[in-house]
């Protein structure tokens, strides 16, 4: 009934072998624990790096958003400042125009009253008010037309004509009664007031229509002219390079209506104003040569020949070509064959002539399978010929 240590020991194992297996298992478990710990630390490190990168990206995005918000705020403040300056300038301009108009009226109206004064026709004293009043009434009509987005040029033209009539009366009466200087001053006061106010209204019209300034229009014309000159230089080079392609390009451009506006002021004749676009030139080149722009059949052949020569120079003979040594050997000049196998061997070294024994269950390699299949096909073919 007593079990000894020998009987508890596994059959076929000694105590030393059991201890060795236990130590091996313990070592493997410790190695697995260390590997798992390393994997865990590696994963924690990767996670920490990812979190740090994500945090850095978030901070960068927040900084960029803050910068963008700051830029928008600065742009808004600048726009508000420009608008405020524009409003102040407009108010000052309006006040100055009104002040000049009032001063001109103070000078020109009494001079006209004196010109029309006649004790026997006292009612003519109203004529100066009519002349000056009609001019300013027309200017107010022009202002109303501008506010209602209606044509205003005829109001402004009538006001200017009326101002010229009053200026002529002031010049004639002032020169005769008080000298040429007074006549010229009175005439200018009759014209300057309405003209100053008309300039103010002209600015309102340009602002409402969004019309660019004269300097901006002049810069735009210069830019357009420079673009046209550059396009002409490119087209002249294309025409000199390939006349056939250029003729087809001109035909396509005429069909598509690709012309330079006459206001460019560079090309005057209709024929010279035809300026094809790059897309039209590309289409014409493809139609004529059947290849991308800059390539022809001859150029493609030359490129392929150059690539072939470079490949031969770098890598030697191409597949299927005989080496230079073989091409220089005669029919009787043959290379010596390999040395015959030694008797009692199968071509392998140090095997004593005994082929290796195949272990059962070992799979053949694909090369061996292919070789055995070729040998079986050759044997079947020989047997069939023999029969």
Residue 270 confidence (pLDDT): 45
Residue 306 confidence (pLDDT): 92
Cα–Cα separations (whole angstroms), residue 151 to 95, 108, 145, 206, 352:
25, 29, 6, 13, 118
Instruction: Name 163's Cβ contacts closer than 8 Å, sequence gap at least 6.
Output: 135, 190, 191, 193, 194, 195
Burial (CB < 10 A; 0-12, 13-18, 19+), residue 264, is middle
Please count the CA atoms within 13 angstroms of the CA of 270 that sit on its side-chain side: 2
Alpha-carbon dihedral 300, 301, 303, 305, rounded to 10 degrees: 160
Planar angle of CA 106, 107, 110, nearest 5 degrees: 80
Q: Where are the domains of the chain?
A: 97-210, 220-310
Residue 164 confidence (pLDDT): 87
* pLDDT tens-digit map of 86-145: 788 878 888 888 888 888 888 888 888 888 888 888 888 888 888 778 888 888 888 788
Strand partners, 274: 259
- Residues in the chain predicted with pLDDT less than 70, given as ranges, are 1-13, 207-213, 260-274, 316-368, 383-387
What is the gyration radius of the CA atoms in the chain, in angstroms?
Answer: 52
Residue 351 confidence (pLDDT): 55
Residue 265 confidence (pLDDT): 44
Helix (H) or strand (E) holding 202: helix 180-209
Q: Provide DSSP, 106-171.
A: HHHHHHHHHHH--GGGGGGGGHHHHHHHHHHHHHHHHHHHHHTT---HHHHHHHHHHHHHHHHHHH
* Nearest of 161, 164, 221, 223 to residue 189 by alpha carbon: 164
- Tokens (6 digits) for 112: 């006209």
């Amino acid at each position: 009934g007593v079990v000894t240590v020998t009987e508890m020991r596994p059959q076929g194992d000694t105590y030393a072998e059991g201890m060795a297996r236990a130590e091996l298992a313990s070592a493997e478990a410790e190695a697995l624990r260390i590997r798992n710990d390393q994997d865990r630390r590696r994963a924690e490190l990767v996670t920490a790096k990812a979190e740090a990168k994500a945090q850095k990206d978030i901070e960068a995005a927040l900084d960029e958003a803050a910068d963008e918000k700051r830029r928008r705020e600065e742009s808004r403040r600048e726009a508000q400042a420009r608008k405020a300056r524009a409003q102040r300038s407009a108010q000052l301009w309006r006040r100055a125009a009104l002040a000049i108009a009032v001063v001109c009226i103070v000078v020109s109206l009494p001079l006209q009253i004196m010109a029309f004064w006649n004790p026997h026709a006292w009612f003519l004293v109203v004529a100066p008010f009519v002349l000056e009043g009609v001019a300013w009434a027309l200017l107010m009509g022009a202002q109303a037309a501008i506010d209602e987005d209606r044509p205003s040029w005829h109001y402004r033209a009538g006001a200017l004509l009326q101002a010229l009539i009053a200026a002529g009366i002031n010049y004639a009466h002032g020169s005769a009664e008080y000298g040429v200087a007074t006549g010229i001053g009175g005439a200018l006061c009759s014209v300057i007031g309405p003209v100053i106010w008309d300039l103010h209204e002209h600015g309102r019209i340009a602002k409402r229509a969004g019309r660019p300034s004269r300097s901006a229009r002049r810069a735009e014309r210069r830019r357009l002219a420079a673009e046209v000159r550059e396009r002409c230089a490119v087209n002249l080079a294309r025409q000199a390079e390939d006349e056939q392609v250029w003729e087809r390009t001109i035909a396509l451009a005429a069909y598509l209506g690709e012309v330079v506006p006459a206001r460019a002021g560079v090309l005057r004749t209709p024929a010279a104003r035809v300026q094809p676009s790059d897309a039209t030139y590309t289409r014409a080149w493809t139609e004529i040569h059947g290849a991308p722009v800059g390539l022809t059949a001859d150029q493609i052949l030359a490129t392929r020949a150059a690539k072939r020569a470079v490949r031969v120079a770098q890598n030697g003979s191409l597949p299927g070509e005989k080496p230079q040594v073989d091409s220089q050997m005669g029919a009787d000049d043959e290379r010596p064959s390999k040395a015959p196998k030694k008797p009692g061997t199968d071509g392998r070294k140090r095997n004593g002539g005994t082929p290796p024994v195949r272990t059962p269950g070992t799979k053949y390699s694909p090369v061996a399978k292919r070789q055995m299949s070729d040998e079986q096909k050759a044997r079947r073919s020989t047997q069939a010929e023999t029969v």
